[in-house]
């Protein structure tokens, strides 16, 4: 007898990164052409020594590190975020407007659970971050695709034509995953104005903000004294301080929204990881200069990727920034088939655009995401060399 299955889960695609990992199972890679895994956007190195020592000290000597904590997170971390964000963005953010989550994916799921239910609609620009789409599918919320076009920067004017009486939110990711593009401040302001006019939530996921190539604040949304009536910001500590395994993210929103968020978090996780929060707080207070160096390295890899693609006939670099290059391939085959061949014929593991676009999307069949955060400039040169040598 087969146990029941929620139909919404049955209709949800499997996790793309796990699917891609299955492509390399049982594959033997030549000694002179080892696998280069550019499929996942996550640091693989350990956090800096000082942060690891802070975690160890807390684990050994802080009894509270092993107990339940406040559902919305450690007060000291919420206060630190409020203080630093207010300075970065030139606005006013209170600790009561900050919540800590088990990673940024949970931040998205949490917020969306308070905003939309079965039959409601949420607008996602395409190419989209697949975990956002998966949560909406599992929640029986209709995803409305917003084609970002050749620039990969979505238009608020185009989004306005998609709003219905069932629309609850618009979700933006900047710097973008998977596209790598950095949304202009004017674009974010236009979406804010649209959402305010229509009574929608504007969710801005800034997981990769620390690797934005621009100087200064990436937008002025928090300078609006009434920002909390429309804006919900998401953030991740995983990329900034290499805390992927500790799962620490954040939501910045109005206090009334966070009262609803608290219901979800108390039910799902009770509280965020205490050790992870201790690590994030230590990082915020001590790793500013180190993080600036990490940003410089990512920007150097971005330049190497952009220069490399100039040497690839037929390939087109659609977007490049933060951890990602999003490209268009020149071959007469769909990107999912191509990416499987690149595993065995070029020892490259990348994700096809079909994982970031609606089913049947012709654009998705031509696109590939390359996550270069864990490949240095020499490794990027080798990726380019293998793509130059590939013949379908």
* Domains recognised in the chain with CATH numbers: 7-46+290-389 (3.90.1150.10), 49-287 (3.40.640.10)
**232, 203 Cβ separation under 8 angstroms:** yes
Q: How far apart are CA 262 and CA 100, in angstroms?
A: 10
For residue 150, the Cα-to-chain-centroid distance in whole angstroms is 20
Q: Give the sign of the dihedral formed by CA 20, CA 21, CA 24, CA 30.
A: positive
Q: How far apart are CA 359 and CA 357, in angstroms?
A: 7
- Average pLDDT across each block of 10 residues of the chain; the chain has 392 residues. List them in order: 90 88 91 93 88 97 95 98 97 98 96 97 97 96 97 98 98 96 98 98 97 94 97 95 93 97 96 96 97 95 95 95 95 96 96 95 96 92 95 86
pTM of the model: 0.94
Q: Coil, strand, or helix at residue 349?
A: strand
Token pair, residue 105, equals 């994916």
Q: Residue 41: its pLDDT value, please?
A: 78
Read off φ and ψ for residue 270, nearest 5 degrees: 70, -55
**319, 329 Cβ separation under 8 angstroms:** no
Q: How far apart are CA 303 and CA 298, in angstroms?
A: 9
232: closest CA among 110, 76, 385, 380?
Answer: 110
List Cα–Cα distances, 102 to 94, 244, 250, 258, 301, in angstroms: 21, 10, 8, 15, 29
Beta strand 142-147 with 121-126: parallel, antiparallel or unpaired? parallel
Q: Residue 40: its pLDDT value, please?
A: 84
38: closest CA among 313, 242, 325, 298?
Answer: 325
Token pair, residue 37, equals 């895994």
Q: How far apart are CA 96 and CA 75, in angstroms?
A: 9
The DSSP result for 126-180, as a single string, is: ES--HHHHHHHHHTTPEEEEEE-TTTT---HHHHHTT--TTEEEEEEESS-TTT-
Q: Residue 347: its pLDDT value, please?
A: 96
């Amino acid at each position: 007898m087969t146990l029941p299955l929620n139909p919404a889960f049955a209709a949800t695609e499997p996790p793309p990164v796990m699917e891609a990992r299955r492509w390399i199972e049982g594959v033997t890679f030549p000694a002179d052409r080892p696998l280069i895994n550019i499929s996942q956007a996550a640091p693989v190195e350990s956090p800096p020594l000082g942060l690891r020592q802070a975690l160890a000290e807390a684990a050994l000597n802080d009894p509270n590190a092993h107990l339940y904590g406040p559902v919305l997170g450690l007060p000291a971390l919420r206060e630190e975020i409020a203080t630093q964000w207010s300075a970065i963005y030139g606005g006013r953010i209170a600790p009561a407007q900050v919540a800590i989550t088990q990673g940024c994916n949970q931040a998205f799921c949490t917020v969306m659970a308070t905003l939309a239910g079965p039959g409601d609609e949420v607008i996602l620009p395409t190419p989209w971050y697949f975990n956002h789409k998966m949560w909406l599918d599992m929640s029986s919320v209709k995803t409305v695709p917003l084609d970002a076009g050749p620039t990969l920067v979505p238009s608020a004017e185009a989004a306005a034509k998609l709003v219905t009486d069932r629309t609850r939110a618009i979700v933006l990711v900047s710097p973008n995953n998977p596209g790598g593009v950095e949304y202009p401040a004017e674009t974010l302001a236009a979406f804010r104005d649209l959402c305010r006019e229509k009574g929608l939530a504007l969710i801005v996921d800034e997981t990769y903000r620390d690797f934005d190539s621009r100087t200064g604040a990436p937008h002025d949304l928090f300078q609006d004294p009434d920002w909390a009536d429309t804006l919900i910001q998401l953030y991740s500590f995983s990329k900034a301080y290499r805390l992927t395994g500790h799962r620490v993210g954040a939501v910045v929103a109005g206090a009334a929204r966070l009262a609803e968020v608290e219901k979800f978090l108390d039910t799902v996780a009770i509280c965020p990881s205490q050790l992870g929060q201790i690590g994030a707080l230590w990082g915020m207070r001590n790793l500013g200069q180190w993080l600036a160096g990490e940003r410089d390295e990512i920007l150097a890899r971005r330049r190497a990727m952009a220069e490399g693609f100039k040497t690839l006939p037929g390939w087109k670099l659609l977007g490049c920034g933060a951890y990602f290059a999003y490209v268009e391939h020149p071959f007469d085959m769909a990107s999912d088939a191509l990416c499987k061949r690149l595993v065995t014929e070029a020892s490259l593991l990348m994700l096809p655009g079909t994982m970031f676009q609606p089913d049947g999307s012709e654009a998705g069949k031509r696109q590939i995401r390359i996550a270069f955060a864990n490949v240095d400039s020499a490794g990027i040169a080798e990726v380019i060399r293998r793509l130059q040598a590939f013949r379908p």
